[in-house]
Structure 1
Amino acid sequence: MTGRPTGETLQLLLDHVVSESVADLDRPHVLTITEGGLTYVSGPYVDAQAALCALEDDRRVNADFAADRSYRVSPLLPPFCPHLVPPPGGSGG
């Protein structure tokens, strides 16, 4: 045994990464707009497609300024804070 992953192991890893990435598209997203050193956050939107539509709307409405703006669409993931996670079997509230 070489300690290197097999082709089957690599395929399982790739399948997992791809499925998680696709699942991210259905999660809520935010739109971040940066202009002149200021950053604005818009959303959350129901999914990636809705956030991209908001991006295109902003780009169209602000066409005169769009060249000076940068846009980023990001998934809005739940916080990873152990103190916010209810204990197993707990009511959480």
Structure 2
Amino acid sequence: MRGACFKAKSNRLVERNNVLERYKERARRNLLGEIGEQKRRQRTADVESVFAHIKSNRNFNRFTNKGIEKAELELRLHALAHNLRKKSAKERALFTKTINS
């Protein structure tokens, strides 16, 4: 049965990187700990939806400016536009609610 699956002439050599394993274990402990769970919950509420909205609904897939400073400025402008739209939508909803009451 081994010959049907394994075509190499010699046995494989599998090595483990112990340093990498320690880093993975530390990351796993940090992510699964109480603070890690809290930060992961907070991240989904804070930024993930904003980036998805900017990328999907505003058709933003790459920066048009070169350089870190210019790209940072461009991202800040996108964030500002996103926040202004949210504020405008809330004010419209409040205004509509006031008129209908």
Whether TM-score is above 0.5 comes out as no
Q: Which has the larger radius of gyration?
A: 2
Question: Which protein has the bigger strand share?
Answer: 1
Q: TM-score, normalised by structure 1?
A: 0.28
- Bigger helix fraction: 2
With a CA cutoff of 8 Å and minimum separation of 6, indicate the structure with the bigger relative contact order: 1
TM-score between the two structures when normalised by the length of structure 2: 0.26
